[in-house]
Structure 1
């Protein structure tokens, strides 16, 4: 069983990755296509110091080699794989035929929350909004959702992370059922900092995952939302995409 979860930034995808990391017979891949999404951003690698373990796993591989690894045989002792992808990492020109060989699901979250959270994280990392907005990812997320629907001739599973936060056990059980795997109570809690998957320590992106790395389970952030004027156009553009996908979300 091969599972691909597609997300856009700040949808709590890292928390869900940590949940799947707790399952002993699950092989987890964390954003294996990350490098390729920046092939046209010439200065990107000049300003980002990638973790050495991330580079050793992905950086020197071609796209075809990585896909071969993602859809190939699982290591001994692993029953299924969980691949967490950012939708905008799958560039338009890349072959997508392999997608029909995996079970696809899409993670969504209210853009008023994702975009503000992303803006804060990028700002604290020293990026301007002008250089950040193109990485919000909602347009690519929705476009890929429609593409996969056409490729597989079925609507992919959609889950709203807000539902998982409110009732983690029920929604993770329902998600596992839809994916054809067994739910484990281990998915609900984990030890802070004990992760072999999320490897951004000592980089300028460390704060992007600091909360979830230090967490022990799913947690609800403050619901008070004050939207800066600079973010309003982006949120207004993304809300219809979220609302359309929200109609088809998994419900318990």
Structure 2
């Protein structure tokens, strides 16, 4: 039998990462993990996020134990393990060699859109909070080790989800299934305890929604954060997947 395929989707917050997790879980042959490093991140940084106490109580705060579990038996014996990760959860001082054993994918979104969405749930935001700078560092690390790392832009993806999923499945050497395009609404046992604070739209969703119309207006510190992240985003965007719809 083939060894299980462990897929790590590295995103920033307020992307389509939870909807993407729904798509993979709905395949029927894939288990999912929702931000397994989040409890460690909050405990180590002391940051005040919505539901902080619940996240820490429900999760593992030692990143080494998290990494060991991610390398262990696949839950339920599934042949695919989709891991939804946030790049800003990779804190300084954490070893990163475990990432080399995963099939890594980067999920990006225009930082202006990310910031505008993020501040609806948390009043303050920094460039570090939205993960795109860390995505560039992760890409450079993987490429220095000869790893091909697909990059998916959320806006492009939502205009052609099937084409992108087919291309990603082809890259991973697995079959695409139309079950990835639609799912039942509502919560999942796999959702993190932060779902009530961040997942309102995806809990109502039954599939990928069209991209939002442009017209975001940021000002002050919020605009500064987005501007600081734009060069990194544009670098990644220039190397994104471009499948034929």
Q: TM-score range by the shorter chain?
A: 0.7 to 0.9
Match for residue 7 of structure 1? 11
Match for residue 27 of structure 1? 31
Question: Quick one: structure 1 residues 108 and 225, their matched pair in 2 at CA, closer, same or farther if it must change by over 3 Å?
Answer: same
The answer to whether the 8 A contact 1:21-1:197 is kept is: no
Match for residue 249 of structure 1? 240
State the TM-score, normalized to the length of structure 1: 0.86
Question: Quick one: structure 1 residues 229 and 79, their matched pair in 2 at CA, closer, same or farther if it must change by over 3 Å?
Answer: same
The answer to whether the 8 A contact 2:24-2:180 is kept is: yes
The answer to whether the 8 A contact 2:108-2:132 is kept is: no
The answer to whether the 8 A contact 2:50-2:197 is kept is: no
Matched, 1:72 2:80: no
Shift of 1:149: 2.3
Match for residue 234 of structure 1? 225
The answer to whether the 8 A contact 1:71-1:102 is kept is: no
Question: Quick one: structure 1 residues 197 and 177, their matched pair in 2 at CA, closer, same or farther if it must change by over 3 Å?
Answer: same
Runs (5+) with no aligned partner, structure 1: 123-127
Runs (5+) with no aligned partner, structure 2: none
The answer to whether the 8 A contact 2:112-2:216 is kept is: no
**Residue aligned with 2:119, SS:** helix
Question: Quick one: structure 1 residues 91 and 55, their matched pair in 2 at CA, closer, same or farther if it must change by over 3 Å?
Answer: same
Matched, 1:214 2:204: yes
Matched, 1:184 2:163: no
1:185-224 per-position Cα deviation (integer Å, ceiling 9, x unaligned): 1110011104222233xx6x62421101110100125313
CA RMSD of aligned residues (A): 2.2
Match for residue 93 of structure 1? 93
1:107-159 per-position Cα deviation (integer Å, ceiling 9, x unaligned): 0111121111112232xxxxx32xx3242222222222222222x32341111
Match for residue 129 of structure 2? 135
Distance 2:91 2:151 in 1: 21
State the TM-score, normalized to the length of structure 2: 0.88
Match for residue 161 of structure 2? 168
**Residue aligned with 1:16, SS:** helix
The answer to whether the 8 A contact 1:165-1:218 is kept is: yes
Distance 1:223 1:173 in 2: 25
